Structure formats: C-alpha cells, structure tokens
Amino acid sequence: MNKLIEKNFVLAASQYKLLEKNTPDSLMPRFFDPAGNKSGTSNTKWWCSGFFPGSLLYIYEQTKDEEIRRIAEKRLAILEKEKYYTGNHDLGFMIYCSFGNAYRLFGKPEYKEAVMTAAGSLASRYRPAINSIQSWNSSERLNCPVIIDNMMNLELLYWVSDNGGDAKYRDIAVTHANTTLQHHFRADNSSYHVLDWDLEKKEIIKKVTWQGAADSSAWARGQSWGLYGYTMMYRFSKNKAYLEQARKIGNFLLNHPNLPADKIPYWDFNAPGIPDTYRDASAGAVMASALLELGQYVSKKEKKKYVRAAKQMLLSLSSDVYLTQPGENGGFLLKQNVGSLPHNSEVKVSLTYADYYFLEALLRYKNWYLKK
C-alpha cells in the first residue's frame, strides 16, 4: 500500500500540473468527458470550486512539490472572494476543503480568516423554524430544501467555533445534525436525498430525490455524504449518537446486496438495470475516506472490517478501471463518476470531488494505518 500510495501521488502531481495548464486562470476545473474528449470548467461560485486547490494541497502534503504549492496558492487567490458567498450551503466544500487545508499546512492568518468569514456566510442560511440550514434557494419544485450533502458543510462551522470563532456556529452544526438524524433516515439506515420544508408550518412537505434513481432509493453518493458527515461530527463532538449513526450507515452500505465485489458502488444502490449500469467512483472515494476515519473510533473488530473495506476500495480505484493513465483524462485522476444521471449531467466522467476524496483517503490510510 505504501508503494501504491506513493505511485498515485506521483501520478497526481503530474496530472494536476496538466489540469492547471488546461484550465483558464480565472476559472476552476469541473469535469472531463472522455467520450467527447471535452473539459468542463466553472466559475468560483460553483459548489466544487474548492476541490481543485484542496487536491493540490493534499498532493503537496505528500510530495512537497513546490510547483504544486505555487499552483494551489494561485488558485486560492481567485477563490478567496467566495468566503462571502451566501447563495447555497456549500461553503464547507468551497472554503474549508481549500482554505482549511491551506491553514492546516501553512498556518497563515489570512487562510484562517477566510474560513472564519465563510462560517458567517454559511450560518446566514440557518432557519431556526426548522432547526436546519437551507441547502438551496426556493424554486418552483422545492420550497425550502435541505439535502443530505449538507452534513459535509458542518465541519466548517464546528471547526470555526473550536478555533476562536463564535460558539453559535457549533450550535448550528449540532442542531442541524440532530434534525437530519431525526428526519432524513429510513428504517434500514439509508437516507433520503432531499427534505422539502414548509417554514411557516415548520413541517416537512415531502421527501424526494434530486440525483437518485427514485424518491425511495439509496443514491450512492448521498449515503457516503451521510457516513462521512456523522463520522466527522463525532470527531468534533464525541456525541455517541453520531458515532452510532455512522456505524449504522456503514453497515448498511457494506452489507448491501447490490454493493459490487470491488466495493465501488453503482450510482444508486437501487438503480434500474443493475449490474448493467454506471458505477460512481466518487461515492466510493468518499466512502473509503469516511470508513478510514470511522475505524479510528470503534472496536478492533469493527475497525478491521471498515479498514479492510476501505483498502479494497482504494485498490479498486487505483486499478486501470478507474484510474487514469499519465497524460490522459484532461489531467484528472479518477474515471467512472456520475454527477447527476436523472439530469444527464456529468455521467461517466472525471470530477474534481472524486479526486479530492480519493487523495484524502490515500493520505488517511498512509497516516493512520501504515506502520511507521
């Protein structure tokens, strides 16, 4: 595994220098579609804008490649203004995955300030009437949507309160996590994707999906968001209810009859056409990273189970089926990702967040589970 991890980071450094060359200075990379040999970019307000600099920082952490650091700092500079963004709930993805890692590695006050400011921006979307952070703005289809993905953005809030910021951010994170725990999960510990709330009546209008196969299905990446989110919330709070929820989600995923032998899930655990449908490497990458952290908090027996599964995911993602060859794939790492199949958007492509959580999982495995 040590050799594999080193090899993957050498590849990552090479690929991300190529990705930098392929991306205009004012934009961020978003996807690469091998079928059309087409790259897609985004502005810095896109929810994935923090993953490119975040991945660069993980690559630098492993390789100490100064060119990679230079590129990361260049990209952070164009992203910084989004610390004021209030258009959706994704400030954690945008700012914590980028500036949070930058501050962890380099300790610069301006990096911390970006994270602190972003917490205030994210907190502006908290709705006391429903004890939740509103994910997206109201639309014709949804009144006040709260999505399972939002669990990932709580890390920003909790970290800020724990590092000199207002305690209210921690309170919001805990309250949101508790509300999600109460309403978002089914009896089998799978998660709905979207809860649509009525703010005036303080009640749920409907439980639906946006990116999954059906309202009642287990959209794969959404399940991974939940697993990661409750594991992370336990790290901060030591609330055993969060640890128990993470264990329940993990067991649901690993014991699911539709989880393939290589442990990389189909885009939805209840997708029509299984096994003749798309895999989602991004869901596998998030799941692997989450399981590696979950293994830190459980019994030796459970730890062995979670780490063994995560290792299989990393081995699978490192195979030619999912991992690119040098100089190919527009500069991205992982292939076989699904953004939103119902919208025919970013299907069987490379995506920035898949690479980010893959690199994070590789680092976690190296730092936590390889003998020094």
Q: Is residue 9 within 8 Å of 59, Cβ to Cβ?
A: yes
Instruction: Looking at the chain, list the stretches that DSSP marks H as alpha helix, in order from N- to C-terminal side.
Output: 2-21, 51-63, 66-79, 91, 101-106, 109-123, 154-162, 167-183, 220-237, 240-254, 281-294, 300-317, 352-369
Average pLDDT taken over every residue of the chain? 98
Q: What percent of the chain has pLDDT over 90?
A: 99
Q: What are the pLDDT digits (tens) for 215-228?
A: 999 999 999 999 99
The SS3 of residue 85 is: coil
Active-site annotation holder among 25, 65, 90, 188: 90
In terms of pTM, does the model score above 0.75? yes
261/217 Cα distance (integer angstroms): 21
Domains contained in the chain, CATH given? 2-369 (1.50.10.10)
Active-site annotation holder among 65, 149, 280, 355: 149
Q: What are the pLDDT digits (tens) for 6-40?
A: 999 999 999 999 999 999 999 999 999 999 999 99
Active site residue 262: no
Q: What are the pLDDT digits (tens) for 60-104?
A: 999 999 999 999 999 999 999 999 999 999 999 999 999 999 999
Active site residue 215: no
How many residues comprise the chain? 372
Q: Is residue 294 within 8 Å of 352, Cβ to Cβ?
A: no
Q: pLDDT at position 284, please?
A: 98
What's the rounded mean pLDDT across residues 170-176? Answer: 98
Burial label, 171 (beta-carbon count in 10 A; 0-12, 13-18, 19+)? middle
What's the rounded mean pLDDT across residues 173-183? Answer: 98
234-262 core/surface letters (b: 16 or more CB in 10 A; e: else): bbbbebeebbebbbbbbebbbebeebeeb
Indicate whether 372 pLDDT > 70: no
307/59 Cα distance (integer angstroms): 22
Indicate whether 143 pLDDT > 80: yes
